Structure formats: C-alpha cells, structure tokens
Amino acid sequence: MPVAQSMKLLAIPLLALAVLTGASGSGPLKDNLTGLFSWRDELARDRAEIADLRQGRGATAPSWVVSYANAICEHNAVFVHEHTDAALGMTLEQVTTQFDTMHSQGLDCSSVRYLGSVNENKYVFVLRQGKKDVWYIFTLSDDGASVVNVE
C-alpha cells in the first residue's frame, strides 16, 4: 500500500476523533466524558440545593405573604383578593371562581411549605394540592404591600 493512500486512511479517523472530542472547540464526546467523571459532584450539589430549599433559603417571607399562601390553600378568596395588587384588576368573584375550579379538579390543598426567596420581592412556596406538589412564586409590588404576580 502506498504511503499517500495509508495517510488518507489514517487522516479520516483522526479528523473524526478531533471533531468528536472537541479538539477544535466543544464536541459531543468531550462534553459527555466530563460528565462521566463528575456526576457524583453534580449529585452532591443537587442534594445540597434540595436540602437548602427544604430549610427555606434566602430572605424570610413577610408574615402576610405566608398568610397569602395559606389563604390560597384554604381557598380564602377575601384575603387573597385584599392582598392582590389592584392593578391586576382581579375581582372577588374571579378569585372565588378560580378556587371553585381548583376544587372541582380535585386540587384541594392540604399543606403549605416555604422554600425561600428568589430575590427581595419573590418568594417560593410549595402547596400540596391533590396528589401533587405545586410550586408558586409570589412577586410583590415595589412597596412590598401586595402580590403583583403569581407564577
């Protein structure tokens, strides 16, 4: 076999290996190999994150925000309406209708758990509704007096 032909046969696998391992940048094989050796570290970080969330990290939620989450759990439409920002235009009847819909779909709440804050005006709660946990993020108004968004 001539040398030129054997060099061509050798160049093709070397080029493929360079592309897959990311010799010219990131590549799928190289990206997966790092995960192969670091999965235990990632798992440990994930467990620590979950533990932090269970303990409630970040800023403590104002007491009225905790009461707001409990009011959602208890389907207390009056409290929710009173503490929802007026700019959202929610009427008491609309809030009551939402709670009635949740009840008809088997989403009655049995517990509330605070997970922590995202920043100074977003607070994360988990409500046990029916057979599942539903996460809520309550965003407060600039003055911190009402809820302007529920995600």
SS3 56: coil
Residue with tokens 């009056």: 78
SS3 18: helix
Residue with tokens 């050798």: 10
Q: Which fold has domain 63-150?
A: Nuclear Transport Factor 2; Chain: A, (3.10.450)
Q: Where are the domains of the chain?
A: 3-55, 63-150
The structure tokens listed for 14 are 């070397």
Residue 125, C-beta contacts closer than 8 angstroms, at least 6 positions apart: 61, 69, 112, 113, 114, 115, 135, 136, 138
Using CA atoms, how far apart are residues 116 and 67, in angstroms rounded to an integer?
Answer: 15
Query: In a structure prediction context, what are the per-residue pLDDT tens digits for the chain, which is 151 residues long?
Result: 566 666 666 667 656 655 555 555 555 554 555 555 666 777 777 666 666 655 556 668 899 999 999 999 999 999 999 999 999 999 999 999 999 999 899 889 999 999 888 888 899 999 999 889 999 999 999 999 999 999 9
